[in-house]
Structure 1
Amino acid sequence: MVLWEKYPSHFMTPKLKIRWYGLAFAIGFMLGYKIMERMFKSEKIPQEWLDKLFIYVFVATIVGARLGHVFFYDWDYYSAHPSEILKTWHGGLASHGGTIGIIIAIYFYSKRVTKKSMLWTLDRLAVPVALVAMMIRLGNLMNSEIYGVATDMPWGMIFARNGETVAKHPTQLYEALSYLVTFVVLSYFYWKTNKKDKEGFLLGIFFIGVFLSRFLIEFIKEDQEAFEATMTLNMGQLLSIPFVLAGIYLIYRATKK
């Protein structure tokens, strides 16, 4: 399967130009807002809390993901060109940084808005964020970026726009499907069980579902940066391990309680 030999990374006419990654990001956030709105209404939580949460999470995701890329993947370049850090339109966002940014933002959100524990908010936020993560990976697919190594599997894709001539693993799809499954599991636990009342359980499921799948899929993914070529585990895997361990601990803690 050739992706895309004929069509560019963004559909373009003299009057229309769509950036697929940005479009997927925006759609994901809109869907996430609607999901959280339904959840908050079911628990009779003030709409004001949701509106403020959206702002906190949106800003934290952009800032955290950008700084994550800067510090985790390309510090040598950005330390020499600090003005480039603000140019997010040039590309360069890291999901681990985005996750850290959200956690920090929820700390302040919980202190200033809900007056509840961080885990209360993070458990609920984990449900739509899994779906947003899926949308972002679909954006990566449309942009022909972050794909895997060569494969002879029938679903392999040739990312011709990047000069590829052999089929590669569409790891963006693998991750997107993993995140979709995580979203479905989280939705089940939220709506059909009492697990949302066990603080940390849903967040633990999210951490394991998202970051364990990320860890495993990285084995068949091409290195994002040159320095990863000499590493046994690449940067994405090393950054995923603490989240997986945290997920196991949170589920254990919530279950014991």
Structure 2
Amino acid sequence: MTDFITWTASPALYDGFIQIRWYGLFFAIGFIVGYSMMDRMFRHEQLNVKWLDSLFVYVVVAMVIGARLGHCLFYEWDVYSQHPIEILKIWKGGLASHGGAIGILIAIWIYSRRVTHRSMLFTLDRLVVPVALVAAFIRTGNLMNHEIYGHETSLPWGFRFVENLPQWMAGAEPIFTAPSHPTQIYEALCYLLLFGLLLYLYWRRNAEEREGLIFGTFLIGTFLSRFLIEFIKNDQVAFEASMTLNMGQWLSIPFVIAGVWLVVRAMQRPRVPIKYAPAKAKAKR
């Protein structure tokens, strides 16, 4: 008989006078680590580190707003169009990574015009290195929340998630799903591998000297992984059942195409040398 994993981890790290959830903690840790990494990168390239504070605000606000609006528009517009005030109730859940990505792109366009006065790709090539790590943290938070899992599976690493999560957290007996693909783990591992590749491109291959190369690689790695894993992931909303490809896959395709175009474009153009800080200058390869 195959043994499956019965997942009983609580979404709450602490549930007292306030509730601290793993999802929020992972989210916060990701941004703290990301900020530290960006600070090191900016100092390495002798850039104005004061730009980072503004970048942090732009990205956080844009990602949250974009992810919320993306969910409302792409997945449940028939509901939210009738009750628009519900869009503001973000604590009830409902975020879409594609919407977050679009929000960040808009924010970086504004940020580039108002703060750095450089191209969007200049910022994006650096920003997406820690963002890949943040994405892995967020999917780990989804695992702790018993959400965004996959189809039933007979594989030995199938997870039985708590299906009646709100009731269980209120004290009821848990009702478990059938053994399912832990697609949160699949995605988190893909993003960790991508994070390692982006680190290598930046710190060992000087890929930031080819504008758009790191960002294009990020788009391909992130959204191609998402596209493929969606084949074994449960639909988020009912209307997706009638679609050949689900909404997440259709939204991923333009990002993958854009990534391929950016990588090809970057490799066809000459390097633009960067003046690195003397103490941390990287060997050219």
Q: With the length of structure 2 as denominator, give the TM-score of the two structures.
A: 0.87
Mapped to 1, the partners of 2:140 and 2:49 lie a distance apart of 30
Larger radius of gyration: 2
Paired residues of 1:137 and 1:172 also in contact (CA < 8 A): yes
CA shift digits 1:154-183 (9 cap, x unpaired) = 111000344334210000000000000111
Gapped regions of structure 1 (runs ≥ 5): none
State the secondary structure of the residue aligned to 1:18. Answer: strand
Q: Deviations over 1:172-199 (max 9, x none)?
A: 0000000001110000000011210111
**Matches of 1:160 and 1:113 in 2, distance apart?**
46
Alignment correspondent of 2:6: 2
Could you list the per-position Cα deviations for residues 208-240 of structure 1 after superposition, in whole angstroms to 9, with x for gaps in the alignment? 110000000000000010010101100000000
Q: Note if contact 1:3-1:161 (Cα within 8 Å) is conserved in structure 2.
A: no
Q: Report the CA distance between 1:47 and its aligned residue.
A: 1.6
Indicate which of 206, 209, 215 corresponds to 1:194.
Answer: 206
> Once the two structures are aligned, what percentage of the paired residues are identical?
61
What SS does structure 1 have at the residue aligned with 2:159? coil
* In structure 2, distance between residues paired with 1:13 and 1:218: 33
2:31 to 23, 29, 32: 29
- Aligned twin of 2:59: 57
The within-5 A match list for 1:1-257 is 1-4=5-8, 7-15=9-17, 17-162=19-164, 163-257=175-269
Matched positions, count:
255
Question: C-alpha distance in 1, partners of 2:95/2:102?
Answer: 13
Task: Give the structure with the higher percent helix.
Answer: 1
Is residue 64–residue 101 contact of structure 1 (8 Å, CA) maintained in 2?
A: yes
Query: Aligned partners of 1:247, 1:164: CA distance in 2, in Å?
Result: 39
Using the TM superposition, give the Cα deviation of residue 46 of structure 1 relative to its aligned residue in structure 2, in angstroms. Answer: 1.2
User: In structure 2, what is the Cα distance between the partners aligned to 1:98 and 1:154?
Assistant: 34
Amino acid corresponding to residue 191 of structure 1 in structure 2: W
Contact 1:8–1:161 (8 Å) recurs in 2: no
Task: Give the TM-score normalised by structure 1.
Answer: 0.96
The structural deviation recorded for 1:143 is 0.0
Separation in 1, partners of 2:53, 2:15:
35
Distance 1:21 1:76 in 2: 28
Name the SS for the 1:183 alignment partner.
helix
Stretches of structure 2 that go unaligned for 5 or more consecutive residues are: 165-174, 270-285
